[in-house]
């Protein structure tokens, strides 16, 4: 296995390089896609703007803290979506039989699908996340400690990992339910929506669902509580905000188990 | 072009969209999930505002969320590119050969789609809302009669706007960017993301000059009982006016498009 490693890295590098270059060939289309991704994130922000135009706090957070949560959630989701969003296409892979072609190649299925389309256009949404995050950070007056600096850098990355796990689990479900993107959208895009708001604003069962089953709260709300030194609502103590990377590892473990059992369950679409 | 042919087109659209039952159920599940999240956010917003905001008390805000989630599919608030795809593939040339006006051809099928999806995509989110947050709906049967009329008119306005956006493919070919822009703007301005009554004054002014509130806000206002009595007539009249204006614009652009159309390939 060790000897095979360089060849394998080269193969991945070639695939990734080709995919990234191919997105840049049609300049106008790429620019429009980036603009589209930016617009989607801006629309999400309008919702926050309209709410805080009307009320001073939502779910225990003022506008500044809400910006922080929105920024972290949007950035984490954009990064996770850029890398793992292609798993959204699993229903098409299965229905059209493309999956059989991928299964024949000597590279693990998951690695092929993920490297198959790293979506650079998502960086439009990431840019909106960064801007709102920076505004939130300056506005909230975080009492900076070395640990909190590490936390603010790690949180969007942990968020990307967590959202990646959600995409992976949603992709794995498609092996059992034919064309079930309509169902799993509620979890993938629902988790992105839940991540942008204070979890304290959600009723308890929904709050727990989007914290401990779909780990949306760990991507933005809980790290923001830890950064600001705020207490959390019932069932979500603020110290959980430091646990996002660990939860990310757990989530990937669970999602990978689902994926593996899905691939074993798969019998082909009769292509 | 007889009424029989139009009816046949409406029926075809209806059947096409009732064939995939699993997809209908799945979509309803996602609408319900977003309903749970949105109802939570709206409830917390109203609590923070002291119980009332923009004419909504808690029960009205929650009803608004579930009604709007129930109407997302019938009103087709999200992407629709059937026509743009046919422009790009050149199949539009086939459509133009048919003895039916192009707008009527697509509009009748879209009406069938809206009618097909109203109950199967609408009732599940309403049931979930009633079981979780509780759902206070009007007791006056006229609210439902006028409300469903407003849904049909709203679906018409939605179609007329989507038709225009799709026709831009005749000039642009690649309309993904335009479609994304359209969907995001619609989501905000039709009142799906937050009720239009919560907009800051400048955004409310901009919004009032667009057809978007006539899609979702109008039927939602009537079905939640927020607008009642004689005011209903005013809301329906505005919808009819926007429908007529957007369909007329579609006819104009369609005529220009037919002259401009270049079928790609052989």
Cα(A171)–Cα(A90) distance, rounded to whole angstroms?
Answer: 6
A35 touches chain B (CB under 8 A): yes
Q: With an 8 Å Cβ cutoff, are A183 and B36 in contact?
A: no
Do A125 and A95 touch, CB atoms closer than 8 A?
no
The yes-or-no verdict on residue B174 having pLDDT over 50 is: yes
Cα(A153)–Cα(A72) distance, rounded to whole angstroms?
Answer: 10
- What is the pTM (predicted TM-score) of this model? 0.92
What's the pLDDT tens digit per position in B100-138? 899 999 999 999 999 999 999 999 999 999 999 999 999
Cα(A166)–Cα(A189) distance, rounded to whole angstroms?
Answer: 10
B contact test, residue of A55, A174, A189, A196 with most B CBs within 10 A: A55
Give buried/exposed letters for A143-182 (b at 16+ CB in 10 A, else e). eeeeebeebbebbbbbbbbbbbbbbbbbbbbbbeeebbbb
ipTM associated with this complex: 0.91
DSSP letter at A154?
H
Q: With an 8 Å Cβ cutoff, are A202 and B37 in contact?
A: yes
The yes-or-no verdict on residue B151 having pLDDT over 80 is: yes
What's the pLDDT tens digit per position in B29-50? 999 999 999 999 999 999 999 9
A56 touches chain B (CB under 8 A): yes
Quick one: A28 exposed, middle or buried, by C-beta within 10 A (0-12, 13-18, 19+)?
Answer: exposed
A6 touches chain B (CB under 8 A): no
Residues forming a β-bridge with A61: A58
Q: With an 8 Å Cβ cutoff, are A54 and B184 in contact?
A: no
Provide the shortest C-alpha distance from residue B10 to chain A (in Å). Answer: 25
Please report the pLDDT score of residue B135 as a whole number: 93
Provide the chain A residues 122-151 that lie in CB contact (below 8 A) with chain B. Answer: none
Provide the chain A residues 160-179 that lie in CB contact (below 8 A) with chain B. Answer: 177-179
What's the pLDDT tens digit per position in A25-63? 888 878 888 888 999 999 999 999 999 999 999 999 999
A23 touches chain B (CB under 8 A): no
B44 touches chain A (CB under 8 A): yes
Residue carrying structure tokens 């095979």: A4
């Amino acid at each position: 296995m060790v000897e095979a490693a360089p060849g394998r890295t080269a193969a991945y590098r070639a695939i990734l390089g080709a995919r990234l270059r191919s997105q840049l060939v049609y300049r106008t289309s790429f620019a429009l896609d980036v603009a589209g991704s930016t617009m989607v994130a801006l629309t999400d922000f309008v919702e926050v703007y309209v709410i805080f135009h009307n009320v001073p706090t939502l779910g225990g957070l003022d506008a500044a803290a809400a910006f922080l949560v929105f920024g972290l959630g949007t950035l984490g989701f954009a990064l996770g979506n850029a890398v793992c969003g292609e798993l959204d296409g699993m229903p098409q892979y299965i229905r059209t039989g493309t999956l059989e072609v991928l299964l024949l190649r000597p590279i693990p299925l998951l690695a092929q699908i993920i490297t198959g389309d790293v979506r650079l256009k998502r960086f439009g949404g990431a840019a909106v996340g960064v801007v709102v995050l920076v505004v939130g950070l300056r506005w909230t007056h975080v009492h900076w400690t070395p640990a909190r600096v590490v936390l603010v850098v790690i949180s969007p990355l942990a968020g990307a990992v967590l959202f990646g796990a959600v995409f992976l689990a949603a992709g794995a479900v498609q092996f059992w339910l034919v064309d079930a993107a309509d169902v799993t959208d509620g979890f993938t895009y629902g988790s992105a929506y839940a991540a942008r708001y204070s979890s304290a604003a959600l009723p308890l069962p929904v709050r727990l669902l989007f914290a401990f089953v779909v780990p949306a709260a760990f991507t933005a709300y809980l790290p923001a509580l830890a950064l600001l030194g705020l207490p959390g609502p019932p069932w979500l103590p603020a110290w959980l905000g430091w646990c996002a990377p660990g939860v990310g590892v757990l989530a990937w473990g669970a999602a990978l188990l689902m994926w593996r059992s899905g691939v074993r369950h798969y019998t082909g679409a009769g292509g | 072009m007889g009424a029989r042919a139009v009816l046949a087109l409406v029926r075809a659209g209806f059947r096409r969209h009732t064939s995939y039952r699993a997809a209908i159920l799945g979509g309803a599940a996602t609408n319900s999930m977003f309903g749970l999240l949105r109802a939570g956010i709206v409830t917390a917003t109203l609590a923070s505002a002291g119980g009332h905001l923009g004419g909504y008390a808690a029960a009205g805000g929650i009803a608004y969320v579930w009604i709007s989630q129930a109407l997302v599919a019938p009103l087709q608030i999200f992407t629709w590119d059937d026509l743009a795809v046919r422009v790009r593939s050149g199949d539009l040339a086939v459509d133009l050969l048919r003895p039916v006006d192009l707008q009527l051809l697509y509009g009748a099928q879209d009406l069938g789609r809206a009618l097909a999806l109203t109950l199967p995509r609408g009732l599940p989110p309403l049931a979930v809302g009633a079981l979780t947050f509780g759902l206070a709906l009007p007791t006056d049967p006229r609210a439902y009669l006028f409300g469903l009329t407003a849904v049909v008119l709203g679906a018409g306005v939605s179609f007329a706007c989507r038709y225009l956006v799709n026709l831009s493919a005749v000039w642009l070919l690649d309309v993904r960017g335009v479609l994304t822009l359209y969907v995001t703007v619609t989501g905000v301005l039709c009142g799906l993301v937050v009720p239009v009554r919560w907009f800051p004054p400048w955004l409310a002014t901009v919004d009032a000059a667009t057809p978007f509130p006539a899609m979702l806000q109008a039927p939602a206002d009537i079905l939640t009982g927020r607008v009642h009595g004689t005011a209903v007539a005013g809301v329906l009249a505005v919808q009819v006016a926007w429908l007529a204006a957007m369909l007329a614009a579609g006819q104009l652009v369609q005529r220009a498009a037919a002259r401009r159309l270049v079928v790609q390939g052989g």
